[in-house]
Chains A and B, each alone.
Chain A
Amino acid sequence: DGGITQSPKYLFRKEGQNVTLSCEQNLNHDAMYWYRQDPGQGLRLIYYSQIVNDFQKGDIAEGYSVSREKKESFPLTVTSAQKNPTAFYLCASRDGPLYEQYFGPGTRLTVT
């Protein structure tokens, strides 16, 4: 079955630590995305990548970093520079412009 996997589902970290969230897709999609969702809020774009070895900042990229070394994988690192990292993080992918976007199940990150 094709889809997007994110791991882990829940993640706990101490303040000041970097943490990497995993996102893997086997849909053969070129474009991948990372969104942040705070309670009761919409989806805000952190980073996106249209092809391997290329990515662009979204609306709230500060304090985050990404890499796209393989088509299937788009990991997100939440650095200690991110002031309020506790949130629900969603990874998504799609075939290209005007196509539907598929979302992974999400990772809920709690930083204390």
Chain B
Amino acid sequence: QQPVQSPQAVILREGEDAVINCSSSKALYSVHWYRQKHGEAPVFLMILLKGGEQKGHEKISASFNEKKQQSSLYLTASQLSYSGTYFCGTENNAGNMLTFGGGTRLMVKP
């Protein structure tokens, strides 16, 4: 079953923060986050494994709460380059297929 992302869309001013959530109805083994620019392929951001580990690089970080079957992506001090659609992909066992959410469209304005 497809994970649910919220919000579906968000508009920010440069420098503002945003949180994107990803929820699953199944127990999760890992959560992957990707960003896609219009007409391009998704680009990997980070992967979170079971254990509630929080990861991040620069001003983008994420958390994973396996008990709640949820992950959140945190974008701080957003830049124009952060604009795009963010997808979470979930694995619910140690198999090798990802199920992607419907995406969150993020637009950062000057």
Contact = CB atoms under 8 A, between A and B. Distances in A.
A18 to B, nearest CB: 25
A105 to B, nearest CB: 5
A103 B100 CA distance: 14
Contact of A42 (B2, B29, B30): B2
A25 interface: no
Interface in A6-61: 31, 33, 35, 41-45, 48, 50, 58-59
Interface string B67-110: 00000000000000000000101010011111111110000000
Contacts of B41: 90, 103-106
Nearest to B103: A42
A98 B91 contact: yes
A27 to B, nearest CB: 13
| For the complex of A and B, 3 pairs with smallest distance between CB atoms | A103-B41, A43-B100, A42-B102
Interface of B: 2, 29-30, 32, 40-44, 47, 49, 87, 89, 91, 94-103
Given A43-B42, A97-B96, 4 more contacts: A35-B100, A41-B102, A41-B103, A98-B94
Interface of A: 31, 33, 35, 41-45, 48, 50, 58-59, 90, 94, 96-106
30 contacts: A31-B96, A33-B98, A35-B100, A42-B87, A42-B100, A42-B102, A42-B103, A43-B42, A43-B89, A44-B100, A45-B98, A48-B96, A48-B97, A50-B96, A90-B41, A90-B42, A97-B91, A97-B95, A97-B96, A98-B29, A98-B30, A98-B47, A98-B49, A98-B94, A102-B44, A103-B41, A103-B42, A105-B40, A106-B40, A106-B41
